Amino acid sequence: MPASRSRTHDWRKLLQQIYERGGAIEFAIAHPDRGETDPSLHATGPDLVWRVKVQKLTEEEIGVEFPVTLGREVRIDVGTELVAAIAIGQNRWTFRTHNMGEVAGGAGSPPGLRLKMPTEVSRSKRRRVRVDTQAVTLPSVEIWPLLDPKSVIPGERATELAFDAWRKGESIDGKGLLSDAVMPVVGPKFTAELANLGGGGVGLVVEHDSAATVGRHRIFWLRLSLEPDIPVPLCASGKVVHTHIDSSQRTYVGIAFDFSFNPAHESQVADLILEYIDRQQELQRQARDQRDAGRIG
């Protein structure tokens, strides 16, 4: 049996090893699948990937911890379709699944989600998830070295006011949020891929030509666009907590959000992420309703 086929065939063993070692899998809300030949029917906003610990395995289910952002649980509705990935080193196996409901905690295990165990998986390129017609593309994050941490307050406050106005149905100037007037005191910009979201920060993948900047600075200003679903970008400062280099000479950077100079901004960032996840799930519900209506008709 060829090596690649063997690695795919043994995915259940790898998943068992992840569970026994207290490891994690990744997942994102799947795009609504309403037609492979019409890309306009798929969501166009960025995909947010969560890394969650595997808590239990059975023949039918994968038990995982709740995804959390800044101390708040990310609610995933029963039936929500997910694109998930098993990642070990540079090897990656992806599959479709759905949330079967919550599981109560006990015996030292926190409550979590029950995901449907797949019957098969697919190999994919590291940091690119593709399952059937579903593609999860990691979004780009704009990053600047933060030279004066106190200078983040105008930019953070601007996004807070804009987000409140948008939720009230008021029009906002999204471009104005990107103006120099609300930018902190920063160094030259570079970009990175958003690998995953965690409870208190983000994991980023930085290409080799920008890695030196990460080595010279420890505090950064980050901006992630959530358009077209939400016109207000996610903006926050963060501190580098760990780095490592993969075999492709790209640097993985773990950054913890820092709200030291504006504690109220933490709530706005959490609200923004939770609102975005709710909207992704609403797209699925709308697509499901349309499919059901088509069958009835």
Domain ranges of the chain: 3-136, 140-281
CA angle 276, 131, 54 (to 5 degrees): 70
- Nearest CA to 278 out of 75, 48, 82 is that of 75
Per residue in 243-269, pLDDT (tens digit) is 998 777 789 999 999 999 999 999 999
Find out whether the peptide bond into 32 is cis, omega within 30 degrees of 0: no
How far is the first Cα of the chain from the last one, in angstroms, to the nearest whole number?
Answer: 48
Work out the mean pLDDT of the chain and round it to a whole number: 85
* 74-to-6, 7, 132, 140, 177 alpha-carbon distances in Å: 35, 32, 26, 22, 26
Residue 244 near residue 252, CB atoms below 8 Å: yes
Cα(27)–Cα(96) distance, integer angstroms: 9
Per-residue confidence (pLDDT) for residue 297, from 0 to 100 = 58
140-281 sits in which CATH class? mainly beta
Q: What is the pTM of this model?
A: 0.86
Query: In the CATH hierarchy, which fold is given to the domain comprising 3-136?
Result: Pnp Oxidase; Chain A (2.30.110)
pLDDT tens for the chain, residues 1 to 297: 444 444 456 888 999 999 999 999 999 998 875 444 444 444 567 889 999 999 999 999 999 999 999 999 999 999 999 999 998 776 788 899 999 999 876 666 778 999 999 998 988 655 444 333 345 678 899 999 999 999 999 999 999 999 999 999 998 876 677 677 789 999 999 999 999 998 899 999 999 889 889 989 999 999 999 988 899 999 999 999 999 987 777 899 999 999 999 999 999 999 999 999 999 999 888 887 777 776 665
The β-bridge partners of 27 are: 50, 84
